Amino acid sequence: MTANATVNPILVVGSVALDSLETPAGHREECLGGSASYFSVGASHFAPTHVVAVVGEDFPQAYLDHLRSRGVNLEGLEIIPGGRTFRWRGRYGEHFGDAQTLETQLNVFEHFSPKIPAQWRGAKYLFLGNIDPELQGRVLDQVENPHLVALDTMNFWITGKRHALEAVLSRVDLFILNETEARLLSGERNVYKAAEAVQALGPRVVVVKRGEYGALLFHPDGVFAAPAVPLREVIDPTGAGDTFAAGLMGFLARADETDFATLKRAVLTGTVLASFACEGFSLDRVLSLTTAEVEERLARLESLMKV
């Protein structure tokens, strides 16, 4: 499955990394990881994707080839001579909850300063991956009136750089976060109240990821609950959140609409794409996806919602 070249491209700014993973299904050393990697490969099934990120000179050529094989544009990927790529090592427990971080090496990512190529500054769709909110703000300073800006974050930024995060949230349209993050940011335990409090910070649309329980879409026109895709086996949930965002944004870019009905369909698409990400280590499964597989699983998910 390849994106239609006439579809509006999506600009993604985030991390490209080397992940070492331990899960109940096995382990993998230095595989392709990072928010921009998962997002760009996932979204490329629906729309052209342009990546702004940084890696070291040690980044494997094979992984660059993997990204390019999906039509991902890497003109904005900075390769630092003599530098080492961002590395993360994590372990998942028996029930695949949040990963335990065993080691983080920021390396070249520590001094990452996103530079948007001039030809991409008019991008209509922009996804700000999970990076320092100050950097997210600098990206917004470089783009020219995008139609839709979506943003991801994490607990570390909510607690450590709340002021900068709130400043950038006032400039985005769509905010994707999980339940824990929504409660932490809002101070509300009820997820509905939490989402409303987050919307009050700026984003008109909030999507709350709930893992194996699906996702909730909060929109000015209503609320939508999407179920998760039941899976017989989980191999590696790393990057599922970024892949969810990829399916959601990819669908919106292809439809070129952001109304409530389209967003509901986009959330379901994101849910389906994330389920595939969990079925293999790293990006193995998402790289091999076909249109027929996505459409079949989307139809199966929709059938679960019928009474």
What's the gap between Cα 20 and its chain centre?
A: 19
Residue 64 CA to residue 102 CA, distance in Å, equals 26
> Which residue has 């026109």 as its token pair?
221
**pLDDT at residue 7, as a whole number:** 86
The per-residue pLDDT for 132 is 96
Burial of 151 (0-12, 13-18, 19+ CB in 10 A): buried
Domains and their CATH numbers in the chain: 10-304 (3.40.1190.20)
Q: In whole angstroms, what is the distance from residue 139 CA to residue 133 CA?
A: 10
CB of 205 closer than 8 Å to CB of 219: yes
Determine the pLDDT at residue 137. 97
Alpha carbons 203 and 253: distance in angstroms, whole number? 18
pTM for the whole thing? 0.95
Q: Is the dihedral of CA 265, 220, 141, 18 positive or negative?
A: negative
What is the per-residue pLDDT for 306? 83
> Do residues 91 and 114 lie in contact, with contact meaning Cβ atoms separated by under 8 Å?
no
Return the pLDDT at 3.
63
**What pLDDT tens digit does each residue of the chain (307 aa) get?**
556 668 899 999 999 999 999 999 999 999 999 999 999 999 999 999 999 999 999 999 999 999 999 999 999 999 999 999 999 999 998 878 778 999 999 999 999 999 999 999 999 999 999 999 999 999 999 999 999 999 999 999 999 999 999 999 999 999 999 999 999 999 999 999 999 999 999 999 999 999 889 999 999 999 999 999 999 999 999 999 999 999 999 999 999 999 999 999 999 999 999 999 999 999 999 999 998 999 999 999 998 888 7
What are the backbone angles phi and psi of residue 266, rounded to the nearest 5°?
-65, -40
Q: Provide CB contacts within 8 A for 282, sequence distance 6+.
A: 19, 21, 28, 31, 32, 33, 236, 238, 239
Find where tokens 């919106």 sit. Answer: 252
DSSP class of residue 232 equals S
Q: Is the dihedral of CA 296, 301, 304, 307 positive or negative?
A: negative
Count other C-beta atoms under 10 Å from residue 36's C-beta: 29
